[in-house]
Amino acid sequence: MLHVNVQPVLETPRLTLRPLRRSDAPRIAALCSDFEVARTTARIPHPYGLADAEAFLDLAAARDPARELDFALDMPGEGLVGLLGFFGEAAPATEIGYWLGRPYWGAGLMTEAVTAALAWAARDWGRTHVRAWRLDENPASDAVLVKAGFLYTGERRQTFVLSRGEFLPSRGQIWLA
């Protein structure tokens, strides 16, 4: 198993994937306060304010980067446009999650970010497989995962969606390095 003490910066054609900073809080709050962003994620609450972003950044800073880490997705001229995180399982597995601010949807940005992050996780972070869970009602995330090379595992489960206070059906997908 490989360990990283210093999180890398990854470059894609349009994005820089970099470690989070405390100064990201206002931008994260602005983008995550949109219910359309929160409603298909498990863990973004709604309403969402600056204190929620600061609490998230505190938690993220306390994580062991050998096990769990988040990348800010930065776009030149825009700043932070979204987030991508690996969490949950211990190496050689991990789980991926992500969101993008609504003004940036539909341009292939998350597929670009996920593809770069997967390549790094396999090459430098010792991950041989990456899991994802997405709501049945989230075809955009399904498209991202399929374009990035994920397969369906056939697993189904009810996922609690914080912003809506209810369990909703979701399915498991997996990427094999």
Ligand X SMILES: CC(C)(COP(=O)(O)OP(=O)(O)OC[C@H]1O[C@@H](n2cnc3c(N)ncnc32)[C@H](O)[C@@H]1OP(=O)(O)O)[C@@H](O)C(=O)NCCC(=O)NCCS
- When the beta carbons of 57 and 109 are compared against ligand X, the nearer one is 109
Give the nearest distance from C-beta 41 to ligand X in angstroms.
Answer: 5
- When the beta carbons of 94 and 141 are compared against ligand X, the nearer one is 141
Give the nearest distance from C-beta 132 to ligand X in angstroms.
Answer: 6
- When the beta carbons of 4 and 140 are compared against ligand X, the nearer one is 140
Alpha-carbon distance of 1 to 122, in angstroms, equals 11
The β-bridge relationship of strands 129-135 and 93-100 is parallel
CB 159 within 8 A of CB 167: yes
- When the beta carbons of 37 and 72 are compared against ligand X, the nearer one is 37
Alpha-carbon distance of 140 to 142, in angstroms, equals 5
Q: Residues 6 or more apart from 33 whose CB is under 8 A from it?
A: 46, 47, 48, 49
CB 51 within 8 A of CB 45: no
Give the nearest distance from C-beta 171 to ligand X in angstroms.
Answer: 10
> Which positions touch ligand X (CB under 6 A)?
37, 40-41, 98-100, 105-111, 134, 138-141, 143-144
Give the nearest distance from C-beta 67 to ligand X in angstroms.
Answer: 20
